[in-house]
Amino acid sequence: MKKLLFIFSLVYGLTLMMQCAGTGGGSISMEPPEEGQSVVVGAVLVENDGFENYYRPIKSDIYVLLASKSTVDGEEQTEGYRLKTNDDGYFILQNVPPGAYVVKGIEFYVGVGQTMRVTSEWEAGRKYFRLSNEELNYFVRDWPEEQESKVIDLGINYFLLDRAPRIANFNVFQALNEQELYLDQSYTMPSPAEYFEKNFPESGWFK
């Protein structure tokens, strides 16, 4: 455990990869797939229910902290990545080893200059998210099983921020089809894999 924490402490100080994307993936630079590597895709949707008197969804320009664990040449490796969602709320990480990928936390802005940091912790075997006043880290206590697939889809990660403020709800959706969550607004968001396949039909990742 101490060794794992030390590795993540080293990784935390490094921005290993950041990708900024525009609406419809217009400014995303798709890379050709490398042999044995994977692409990780996901999305984030935050509903602000009254904090700073804002009642609106947030999807764009959200920083996403991903932690990964993979086995390369028989050795376990852990990494941390800091990504950014595009205008539609999606993010992508290309040419990384297949393995376990976890949304460890997010950072986003509310109003003018108000930065909200959300981190995940584990209690009694259950993962939960909370607001944090400290810099976020990449430490993961309970890892999911490693995936060997070419496309690793992390789904649509939904956070509800209430006026307290606190993270009042968290869920992961495969897709949203005219679905109303907490605010009086419906959302249609395809699964991350479908989103990138539609916007980049010629990409080798989705063939």
Strand partners, 67: 80, 102
Question: What is the pTM assigned to this prediction?
Answer: 0.87
Q: How far apart are CA 66 and CA 77, in angstroms?
A: 14
Rounded percentage of the chain residues whose pLDDT exceeds 70 = 87
Q: Domain of 155?
A: 2-206
Q: Is 19 helix (H, G, I), strand (E, B) or coil?
A: coil
11 vs 8: CA distance, rounded Å: 5
Give me Rg for the CA atoms of the chain.
17
**14 burial class (0-12, 13-18, 19+ CB within 10 angstroms)?**
exposed
Strand 38-49 to 151-162 pairing? parallel
**How many structural domains compose the chain?**
1
The pLDDT value recorded for residue 57 is: 97
Weakly modelled stretches of the chain, pLDDT under 50: 1-26
How many angstroms separate the CA atoms of 172 and 43, rounded?
9
Phi, psi dihedral angles at 168 (to 5 degrees)? -85, -20
Give the model's pLDDT for residue 28: 82
